[in-house]
Amino acid sequence: MASKGKLTKIFRDLSFQILLAMILGIVVGKIMGDTAGVFAPLGSLFIQLIKMLVVPLVFVSIVSGAASLGATQSAGRIGITTIIFVFFTTFLAVLVAFAAANIFKPGTGLSIDAIREFFPVQNYSASQPKMDFMSIITQVIPDNPIRSMAEGNILQLIFFGLFLGFGLSILPVPKKQPVINGFNTLLEALIWCISKVMLVAPLGVFGLMADATGTFGFDLLIKVGDLLWVNVIAFFFMLFVFYPAAMLLFSKQKLGPFFKAMLRPQIVAFSTASSLATLPVTLETCEKDLKVSKETASFVIPLGATINMTGSAIYFALVALFFAQLYGMELSFAQYMAIALTATIGSVGQAGVPGPTLLVVAVLVSAGIPVEGLPLLYALDRIFDMLRTVLNITGDAVCAVIVDTKTD
């Protein structure tokens, strides 16, 4: 009976269902060939449901996150140093992803015409900035936020969301709290909607995989594997090059004891794929093993678990460049800026959002990159998520060590 219960639990797990759908889609696509295109509408339906939620989710989560960030001013130097570290390392992670994607080019090698025929391009770029640097700066500011929402202009939504969120944060608590509670409630409702949309993810993945395998064979799936190993390269650079360099320059922490102590929370992070689930272990490790003061650890680690998402930033930027390469798109400086800003701010502002599914859509849309191929990545998303989480929680600990040194 116990084994039957475990088997039932496995089959109910969404990650397992998506993996099974991917395998079935590949088998059906290989058997049916081009006629597997009959299942393509399943993938299209799933993508439409995702796009339905992306604009309200981005706006509400940014306002909620900015309102919470503004409150950290009360923490003085600890809060300011933490926020500076988070934004700097997140932006650097995006640049690392840009470098990795342009060096290894995981999205190249397939027929661009065939890709564009298979994934019909919708012109998202009409409402996105495609000009020089100064034009980007001026056009990030919306003259009508409602129109920005209707047109899906993600950068303008982020700017307005940050502005409104920080404005809320400075109001007296009796005035701001009901409004912030309202945004948090909306965010919870949107997260519920996401959870329901994800129930049809296996159908979407099956439809897309069957169609993709019938059209391209295994070539397109090999490209997704290329994206995974490029993600691993960027991950290892941040984990074993940047973070050690930062600790050597800005703290007194020795590297050997640090990585030895972090092994336990990293294992928990890898297995759960959740920074929040790993929070108690990370907190205990920082206080007991890394000798971070309780005041610093109790502030930095919980905050980092919700806003310090360097792993997510790498993933967002890599996916954007992967699909741009897949479509043969030559990205302009303005589009790179749009990806960098959206990936950085979106990562910092994604507190409470389960996984990157919706926010990666926002990053793609901000640069006018088609999103139709995203279900290709969902079968491997658990692996991506485990890697992201290990990097995220390690970054939290590095931040705590550095902040503790700088605020002594």
User: Is the sign of the CA dihedral 203, 372, 367, 385 positive or negative?
Assistant: positive
pLDDT value at residue 76: 62
pLDDT by residue (tens digit) across 178-220? Answer: 998 998 899 889 878 877 887 888 888 888 778 877 776 777 7
pLDDT value at residue 119: 62
pLDDT value at residue 355: 47
253: helix, coil or strand?
Answer: coil
pLDDT by residue (tens digit) across 292-305? Answer: 988 888 888 887 87
2-406, what's its fold? Proton glutamate symport protein (1.10.3860)
Neighbours of 74 (CB within 10 A): 8
Burial class (CB in 10 A: 0-12, 13-18, 19+), 101: buried
191 against 145, higher pLDDT = 145
Do the beta carbons of residue 124 and residue 333 sit within 8 Å? Answer: no
Mean pLDDT score of the chain: 81
Residue holding tokens 């109910």? 12
pTM: 0.75
d(CA 183, CA 186): 5
Do the beta carbons of residue 51 and residue 209 sit within 8 Å? Answer: no
With a cut of 70, say whether residue 266 has pLDDT above it.
yes
pLDDT value at residue 402: 94
- Judged by average pLDDT, the poorest of 72-86, 159-173, 181-195, 292-306 is 72-86
144: helix, coil or strand?
Answer: coil
d(CA 292, CA 287): 5
80: helix, coil or strand?
Answer: helix
User: Is the sign of the CA dihedral 363, 369, 371, 373 positive or negative?
Assistant: negative
d(CA 159, CA 349): 12
- Count of residues for the chain? 408
pLDDT value at residue 8: 59
Closest CA to 305 of 195, 399, 177: 399
Q: How confident is the model at residue 354 (pLDDT cuts 50, 70, 90)?
A: very low
Closest CA to 62 of 178, 184, 170: 184
Do the beta carbons of residue 34 and residue 217 sit within 8 Å? Answer: no
pLDDT value at residue 256: 94
d(CA 209, CA 397): 39
pLDDT value at residue 127: 40
Provide the percentage of residues in the chain whose pLDDT is more than 70. Answer: 84
pLDDT by residue (tens digit) across 364-385? Answer: 888 888 887 777 777 677 788 8
Mean pLDDT, rounded, for 231-250: 95
Do the beta carbons of residue 116 and residue 102 sit within 8 Å? Answer: no
pLDDT value at residue 185: 92
Closest CA to 228 of 239, 236, 217: 236
368 against 9, higher pLDDT = 368
In sequence order, the 6+-apart residues with CB closer than 8 A to the CB of 222 are none
pLDDT value at residue 303: 77
